[in-house]
Structure 1
Amino acid sequence: MKLSTKVAELTRIIEPAVAACDVALWGVEFVPQGRRSLLRIYIEALPEDKAQDKQVTIEDCSAVTHQVSGILEVHDPIAGEYVLEVSSPGFDRAFFVSEQMQDYIGQTISLRLIQAIGQGSDKRRKVTGKLEQMSEESLNLTTNDGEQFTIAFSNIDKANLVYEDE
């Protein structure tokens, strides 16, 4: 799970503006789309606020949009036009760094891999299963049919939590 150079630069610029709004930056997505790019920022409640069951509000998203817009006008890191979206990560949250998964051990995650895993004709680049444990370099996952995989973080292109209604 490696951030692109552009996303790392945007994160560095955006993070102080988000913090000024008393919320935490969960992640940044930048999708160049020809002449009009998309910049999507995910925010969540600060850890001390989450402990009190506080959630991100529309007002938080609006405040972050206002703050980040000002910072982006000054730094001008995106060539051409772009659309700015700010939201909470939601129930099916994307993970941007491996450390974010730590709180979700025991839950189901979905991964899109860079290199296929598995044996012979059963190779796959997408795998979904219960996150069993994590180390510095990899995670262990068990699929619904009992297959177990150890997957290096460097082989993960995209990771999401799978929402399960309890």
Structure 2
Amino acid sequence: MSETAIKECIVRLAEPLAHALGLVVWGVEIARGYRTIIRLFIDVPLSCRDTCLSPAPSEASVAVSSATVSASVGMCEKISRALELALEVEDCLSNSYVLEVSTPGLSRVFFTREQMRPYLGDIVEARLHTALPAETGNAGKNAAGNSSAPRKLWLGKLINVTDTAFVIAPVVLSPAGEGISENMSPVCLPWQAVRRVNRVHIFPVPAKPGKSPKKRTTLETAICTPPVAAVGGTHES
């Protein structure tokens, strides 16, 4: 079974489980190696995230009301256990695998353009299949009028999302985690050219007395920030 077919199978099995808890399937990632890792991301609906302010129900709750603002560890566990059984019955994975169920987190991966729309103004990192130059014309030129060299990795502030692409204002991150403009015109990246795109979350760091505050990126806090709750099990073929 192809990777696309496996993802479709997992989404088909996971969606009713997530909907029963008032959640949605955000996306699926498959990491190949000595053992295949299946990562299922679940989240609250986009419409609910913007309007619901009350805390999530206890993990013991079987059903979740529309007031949920984040999936809990207990919800991830419920979906993981049910999905494990469903995958055994469906038998769409022939080799050994590890199943992980978690929320997308602050530095979430975007699986569709629609998922990006609520994050306009945030910094995103896009990895492309092949290096692409900035668009012709004024787009992609810096203040001196020089065109940017082709890149496979683009970092910038998300300023627009269209039906076939998204537009960023290129930035670089300072040592303090600040997004500094590259003084380039906006760059349009076709969705079909993107291998992976994710939000770059910047954690503010409390300032020491007498010093100005600084920020740090997600990568800089990876070793000191607890990971997003993820649960799962190992399955041998």
1:100 CA drift (Å): 0.5
1:9 corresponds in structure 2 to: 9
Aligned to 2:202: 164
Q: How does 1:79-90 map to 2 (within 5 A)?
A: 79-90=94-105
| Other-structure match for 2:83 | 68
| TM-score relative to the length of structure 1 | 0.88
| 1:16-35 equivalent positions in 2, closer than 5 A | 16-34=16-34
Q: Provide the rounded CA distance (Å) in 2 between the counterparts of 1:24 and 1:88.
A: 10
**1:18, distance to aligned residue in structure 2 (A):** 2.2
Partner residue in 2 for 1:44: 43
State the match for 1:93 in structure 2. Answer: 108
Distance in 2 of aligned mates of 1:150 and 1:84: 35
- Equivalent AA in structure 2 for residue 107 of structure 1: D
Is 1:111–1:128's contact at 8 Å kept on the other side of the alignment? yes
Per-residue CA deviation, residues 110-159 of structure 1 (Å, 9 max, x unaligned), is 00011212278822100000111111111111112122211110111100
Instruction: State the partner residue of 2:193.
Output: 155
CA deviation after TM superposition for structure 1 residue 88, in Å: 0.7
Cα RMSD (Å): 2.1
Contact 2:107 2:198 (C-alpha < 8 Å) held by counterparts = yes
Distance 1:121 1:99, change over 3 A: closer
Q: Any stretches of 5+ residues in structure 2 without a counterpart?
A: 54-68, 135-146, 172-181, 205-237
CA displacement at 1:9 relative to structure 2: 3.0
Which residue number corresponds to residue 146 of structure 1? 183
- Contact 1:42–1:87 (8 Å) recurs in 2: yes
Q: Which has the higher strand share?
A: 1
Q: Scaled by the length of structure 2, what TM-score is found?
A: 0.63
Q: Which has the higher helix share?
A: 1
Deviates more, 1:4-13 or 1:121-130: 4-13
CA displacement, residues 52-78 of structure 1 (integer Å, 9 cap, x when unaligned) = 232111111111111211211211111
State percent identity of aligned pairs. 26
**Contact 2:108 / 2:198 at 8 angstroms: preserved in 1?**
yes
